[in-house]
Amino acid sequence: MPIYDLSKIAEIELIPGFLGKMVHTGNMTIAYWKVKAGSRLPEHAHFHEQVTHLMEGRFEMQMEGVIYMLEPGMVAVIPANAKHAGVALTDCNLIDVFQPVREDYKALIATTNEER
């Protein structure tokens, strides 16, 4: 059973204002985000199912044209291929779980680590 120490995982800014640490398993990716107030997640969609848990702050999420206000303890379930976007209204801490694994995130992190 692998054990990960988040304090030893490199943080990467994949989107302006979104600083993340990733854990990848055989079937999913868990992303731990620190998001700066005012940072925007552009509208996008992906084939992954996504579950977003807001730990701290206020985050406005738009999914398929409907706006939702996330507050601490709330969980958003985003189906595969659903268009979604968001904005951090305050500094936020979020956890995203993606299934299957985000191979694109793995590749970006590997490239970034090679540059260091």
Q: Residue-wise pLDDT tens for the chain (116 aa)? A: 789 999 999 999 999 999 999 999 999 999 999 999 999 999 999 999 999 999 999 999 999 999 999 999 999 999 999 999 999 999 999 999 999 999 999 887 765 544 43
Q: Which pTM value belongs to this model?
A: 0.91
Report how far residue 85's alpha carbon sits from residue 67's, in angstroms, rounded to the nearest whole number: 9
- Domains in the chain: ranges and CATH: 6-115 (2.60.120.10)
Phi then psi dihedrals of residue 80, to 5 deg: -55, 140
For residue 116, what pLDDT is reported?
Answer: 39
Other Cβ atoms less than 10 A from the Cβ of 86: the count is 24
The number of CA neighbours under 13 Å toward the Cβ of 108 is: 14
**Spatial CB neighbours of 84, under 8 Å, sequence gap ≥ 6:** 41, 43, 44, 45, 50, 61, 62, 63, 64, 78
Coil vs helix vs strand at 107: helix
